[in-house]
Amino acid sequence: MKDFWQSCIQRLEQDLPPQQISAWIRPLVPVAYDEASAVLRVAAPNRFKLDWVRKNFSHQIESLATEWFDKPVQVSFELATSANGAARTPAAAPAGMGAGGVTPPAAPAAGSVPVPAAPTSQGRAVHSPSLSPAVAASNAAADIAYDRSSLNTDLTFDNFVTGKANQLARAAAIQVAQNPGVSYNPLFLYGGVGLGKTHLIHAIGNALLKDNASARVRYVHADQYVSDVVKAYQRKAFDDFKRYYHSLDLLLIDDIQFFAGKNRTQEEFFYAFEAMVAKRKQIIITSDTYPKELANIDSRLISRFDSGLTVAIEPPELEMRVAILLRKAETENVTMPEEVAFFIAKHLRSNVRELEGALRKVLAYARFHGREVLTVEVCKEALKDLLSVSNGQITVENIQKTVADFYKIKVADMYSKRRPANIAMPRQVAMYLAKELTQKSLPEIGDLFGGRDHTTVLHAVRKISDARSKNSELNHALHVLEQTLKG
């Protein structure tokens, strides 16, 4: 196997630039070759490299192995650990987060693969034995920075499709990535589910680390932060907790609405917030609603959230949905005719996650049934269930967006707890239409309107239905909305 590996590197050196060889190939360690199953195990020093080589080099290594061993060989990549004998030296291994017991950040999800637009090896992540100790040390530090940040390297600005719905948010995100702590602090991004908030904040983190590999960046979901607070509490280790969070250069905190009612968490976050902003360190927050609408969050925090820049991400319009589908298909190396993308985008309107799910379904269906060309027919078959469930294309999210546009209120008001009449009435209209035009049950509708009780939905449905028969203006508005939604 050693001989094979040497020859493999030599062959790759003929095809790849030296920089790629030292950044991606030399850090790999061949772990074992199993003759019987023809599986070659290769270890990568960290998750980032693992994802990258799996995506970009597995094919080349596999064909070289197949040639060498004279039979089809499968290459299986894994993380270097002491168990497989490929772990990094202790000096280079990511340290824990201290005695405080703060949970070390999880690595990006297994199986996630960076798209080619992810950071290149330039300036970091090089482990060639020929490097000077200083450079090797700084590259090891860069790897550790990535490992600790919990960033998903798949999520970058380059693969974030822009349209009217998110252009402001993207512009603000780029601005903050280029001038952290200076331009907008905090940056508060809000919007409904699956619209790209998480993607955007990872993109900021990735961009910052690409520019400055030694920056202390951390992505954390609000739930994880809560659980870090609980652990610090149990272990009486708030000093470590504070030291860690207060020392960051960039804190990306996702879905802050999960702080609701968690007073100790809010208090700790308040201190972290104050400490970071005072030191001009950047904080970026996402939420399903805008600051003033956050329920059960301390008003001190709400006013802090509001003190920077607050930007909404709206559901994508048709053209943007098409662009997203085309881009995602391209990433999968699949040619998608525009009419196919339009067909899917017209039928699935609510969010990007739903579009991605539909695309995955269509691709899996086409592969399984040996359909080499994607057609509208293939999509209709593949998405049969999804299309019938969405009851002639109408989803609760479409209804919320359409009604919010009609009454000129924010989509976030559909799930906010606010109750002034100019918001409560459109929200009731939306609930009524959701009941009329979708198959959703009352509890399901309640959930989609910010976790409201089914009796609230029932009350709205009855009230609007009754008012409609007496109030011709409302009746007309409902007709217009129904036509828009069915159109």
Ligand X SMILES: Nc1ncnc2c1ncn2[C@@H]1O[C@H](COP(=O)(O)OP(=O)(O)OP(=O)(O)O)[C@@H](O)[C@H]1O
Site residues (CB under 6 A) for ligand X? 155, 159-161, 166, 191, 193-199, 255, 324, 352-353, 356
- Nearer residue to ligand X within complex by CB, 142 or 320: 320
- Cβ contacts of 27 within 8 Å, gap of 6 or more: 44, 45, 49, 127
Q: How far is the CB of 309 from ligand X (least distance, A)?
A: 17
Give CA–CA dist 484/154, Å, rounded: 36
Give CA–CA dist 283/272, Å, rounded: 10
Ligand-binding annotation for 261, yes or no, is: no
Task: Please list the alpha-helical segments (H only) found in 157-262.
Answer: 167-178, 197-211, 222-234, 238-246
The distance in angstroms from the start CA to the end CA of the chain is: 63
- Nearer residue to ligand X within complex by CB, 64 or 352: 352
Q: How far is the CB of 349 from ligand X (least distance, A)?
A: 14
Ligand-binding annotation for 198, yes or no, is: yes
- Nearer residue to ligand X within complex by CB, 43 or 322: 322
- Nearer residue to ligand X within complex by CB, 155 or 251: 155
- Tokens 């509890």 locate to 443
Q: How far is the CB of 486 from ligand X (least distance, A)?
A: 26
- Tokens 């992810």 locate to 118
CA-based nearest residue to 427, from 473, 395, 463: 463
Evaluate the CA torsion angle 205, 210, 211, 213 in order and state its sign.
Answer: positive
Edge-first strand listing for the sheet containing 250-254: 217-221, 250-254, 282-287, 187-190, 309-312
Give CA–CA dist 49/57, Å, rounded: 11
Q: How far is the CB of 336 from ligand X (least distance, A)?
A: 15
Helix/strand number for the chain, H first, E second: 21, 8
Give CA–CA dist 61/200, Å, rounded: 33
Helix, strand, coil percentages (3-state) for the chain, rounded to 5, are 55, 10, 35
Q: How far is the CB of 78 from ligand X (least distance, A)?
A: 25
- Cβ contacts of 419 within 8 Å, gap of 6 or more: none
- Nearer residue to ligand X within complex by CB, 161 or 485: 161
Q: How far is the CB of 425 from ligand X (least distance, A)?
A: 26
- Nearer residue to ligand X within complex by CB, 139 or 152: 152
- Nearer residue to ligand X within complex by CB, 188 or 432: 188
Q: How far is the CB of 146 from ligand X (least distance, A)?
A: 18
Q: How far is the CB of 324 from ligand X (least distance, A)?
A: 5
Give CA–CA dist 226/207, Å, rounded: 26
Distance of CA 315 to the CA centre of its chain: 16
- Nearer residue to ligand X within complex by CB, 255 or 447: 255
Bridge partner list, 188:
285, 310
Ligand-binding annotation for 281, yes or no, is: no
Ligand-binding annotation for 194, yes or no, is: yes
Q: How far is the CB of 357 from ligand X (least distance, A)?
A: 9
- Nearer residue to ligand X within complex by CB, 142 or 404: 404
Bond before 186 cis per omega within 30 degrees = yes
Residue of closest CB approach to ligand X: 196
Q: How far is the CB of 275 from ligand X (least distance, A)?
A: 26
Pairing of strands 39-44, 187-190: unpaired
Give CA–CA dist 55/250, Å, rounded: 28
Structure tokens at 386: 């999804």
- Nearer residue to ligand X within complex by CB, 348 or 464: 348
- Nearer residue to ligand X within complex by CB, 255 or 444: 255
CA-based nearest residue to 12, from 71, 102, 75: 75
Pairing of strands 282-287, 39-44: unpaired
Q: How far is the CB of 10 from ligand X (least distance, A)?
A: 38
Cβ–Cβ < 8 Å for 372, 348: no
Cβ–Cβ < 8 Å for 305, 290: no
Helix (H, G, I), strand (E, B) or coil at 307: coil
Query: Residues marked as binding for ATP?
Result: 194, 196-198
Q: Which residue numbers belong to the known binding site?
A: 194, 196-198
